Chains A and B, each alone.
Chain A
Amino acid sequence: MSRPTTSRLAAQDLTLAYEDRTVVEGLDLEIPDGKVTVVVGPNACGKSTLLRALGRLLKPRRGAVLLDGAELARVPGKQIARTIGVLPQSPTPPDGITVADLVARGRQPHQKWWQQWSEADELAVAEALRRTDTADLSDRPVDELSGGQRQRVWIAMALAQDTDLLLLDEPTTYLDIAHQVEVLDLVRRLNHERGRTVVAVLHDLNQAARYADHLVAMKAGRIVAQGRPAEVVTAELVEDVFGLSSVVVPDPVTGGPLVVPARAWQPAPLQEEHTRSTTRP
């Protein structure tokens, strides 16, 4: 019983739960086509869970995720894998695998037992390596790469899958700031070059504001606000979602919203010491 949607990927009345607790309840979301959507929110708000459901890594308890109007659960896995590429949070590469081999695995959804390595496969992998600037790393074992390089390789694998949609679960965790920018710039570029729809979960609100076309703020399994960053990111929202009082100033480089914590730390007077709260961003 799904309602018609205007975008290719959408969630309708989605309820997601792990064994003992419900994480997301009755959520509706339409992912705008051809744009970069970023989902933000505090820890355990359900953003990663939502992304995994969108990528069919998690089956919904109730409701449905729709791809081109059809319920994900009814579509064969390989077909989904040809349309939606997912980069999960902590992927583990098989031991000793080289970059080229790993990226080549991304072609699996397109292969059959009698079509194990077609020319299309070769082209797709070569393209993926080129687009992510990992072609010169192609013979090196993935275990030996730096964090930023490894993340680019995983993105290359998702790229080789040649999908119209790309879902990324916290692609910048554990990376230093230069590598974070490297990865996010790449993601933006992938969207720009082919109009790929990208959905990413980021934990850094400012990065999200910088790179998103469409920002979705979640709290406790519900969507609190969504829209363009300039409209959505306000001090009230930050207070509401993150519980942090802040000041939103224009980013000196992009002009978009930049969130800055409102209060600098000051030593409290002696008698109030033990009642001081310790919320820090």
Chain B
Amino acid sequence: MSRATATAAPPAVRPAGHAVLRGGRASFLVHRRSVVVAVALAILLACAVVAYLCVGESFVPPTEVVRVLLGRPSPDELVVGTLRLPRLVVGLLAGAAFGVAGALVQTVARNPLASPDVIGVTHGAGAATVAAISFNAVAYDALPYVSVAGGLAAALLVYVFAWRRGLHSSRFVLVGIGVSVALGSLTQLFLTKGDYLVAQQAKVWLTGSLNGRGYEEARPLAVVLLLAVPAALWAARAQRGAHFDDDTAAALGVRLDRLRLGLTVLGVVLASVATGAAGPVDFVALLAPQIARRLTRTAQIPLLSSALTGALVVVVADLLARRLFSPIELPVGVLTAVVGAPYLMWLIVRTRSRSGGTTS
């Protein structure tokens, strides 16, 4: 072992792939590749949005779409602005919310398979919403709160049943699957209670369909997303602590239990509100974060890119759902499942028997 002679100033050391922005006493770390990926995704998303608004029963040229978006008068205002745009907005927001929710829950569980849709959160939100509709218990504006309550209740259920002297990631996922199935059945149960018309609507809603969604559904979702932005900024920093084993994290002064709780609650709330708005669109919360992470090649799941990827997935999937078998519209959930389920299976095959570790 030779001693390094440190007469020269030490070379700039910083976490790999990051650039540093300094101003006064403040300093910020920026991961270069993540920025590039986010910008690319944003561009892709913009193109997808325009394509979505162009394509349909009648084709609207892109220039007209842009005019409508910019608020200028145009003959296609009805088609684009009233028919397609509201649905697009719901899809965008829901996709972003699912993406972030998936990223957060997967980080806390340290397991890509533990996604809010796999472990029953979305089904919980769905069951609560359907129950509220079937029993006519709640006013329409209060439905988003019901969804959130349902999602939180489901997450709590899974936690309670999976906890046994600590939380093993695999038991967590297994219990989550069970709770997910039970809640799905509960939803079916409530469907038989409600009247026929309600049941029909709810059934379509249950597969995750953007048909008939508009600004009413989008509003609560937009509000929550906006409020979630500062929380998301905190989460992005806090994620780094969630990576370590319990002892090392404690040694670094990280309040692991508080952190995990915060991240999980944020994730569950986002997934529940998105479900309330768009129905349980399966697999977006699973797919989007994993795709984003593979793009940015970071150890931790990037939140912004997950949101953008989620939005992109939903927009593209809904576009295909509308056009593939036109004039019949498939529910968007069918498409995401057809792609997402094989991806989940591939993830299962690739899963290394890493012990998710005890969290408590």
Contact = CB atoms under 8 A, between A and B. Distances in A.
- The answer to whether A binds B is yes
A115 B247 contact: no
A3 to B, nearest CB: 27
Contacts of B1: 133, 182
Contacts of B43: none
B160 interface: no
A109 B251 CA distance: 10
Interface residues of A, number: 54
A94 B243 contact: yes
B299 A92 contact: no
Nearest to A99: B16
A227 interface: no
Contacts, number: 115
Contacts of A123: 10
Interface in B237-270: 237, 240-241, 243-245, 247-248, 250-255
A104 B250 CA distance: 16
A78 to B, nearest CB: 4
Contacts of B4: 130, 133, 135
Nearest to A138: B13
Given A81-B253, A116-B27, A108 B13 contact: no
A104 B14 contact: yes
A78 B14 contact: no
A161 interface: yes
Contacts of A114: 26-28
Given A92-B245, A100-B13, A108 B252 contact: yes
Interface in A9-59: 19, 52, 55-57
Contacts of A85: 251
B3 A55 contact: no
Contacts of B10: 122-123, 126-127, 130
A69 interface: no
Interface in B285-339: 299-300
B27 A117 contact: yes
A66 interface: no
Given A77-B253, A115-B27, A117-B29, A57 B15 contact: no
A8 interface: no
Given A100-B15, A133-B3, A77 B247 contact: no
Contacts of B47: none
A89 B250 CA distance: 13
Contact of A80 (B2, B15, B26, B253): B253
Contacts of B244: 91-92, 94, 105
Contacts of A108: 240-241, 252-254
Contact of A116 (B3, B28, B250, B300): B28
Nearest to B6: A130
Nearest to A57: B250
Nearest to B297: A96
A109 B247 contact: no
A142 B144 CA distance: 46
A9 B12 CA distance: 35
Contact of B15 (A52, A104, A119, A158): A104
B239 to A, nearest CB: 11
Contacts of B14: 100, 104, 117, 122
Nearest to B352: A95
Contacts of B20: 117
A238 interface: no
A182 B27 CA distance: 36
B248 A91 contact: yes
Contacts of A87: 251
7 contacts: A55-B251, A77-B253, A82-B253, A88-B247, A92-B357, A116-B237, A126-B13
Given A81-B252, A86-B251, A109-B253, 9 more contacts: A19-B165, A77-B255, A81-B251, A104-B13, A105-B240, A116-B27, A116-B29, A117-B15, A133-B4
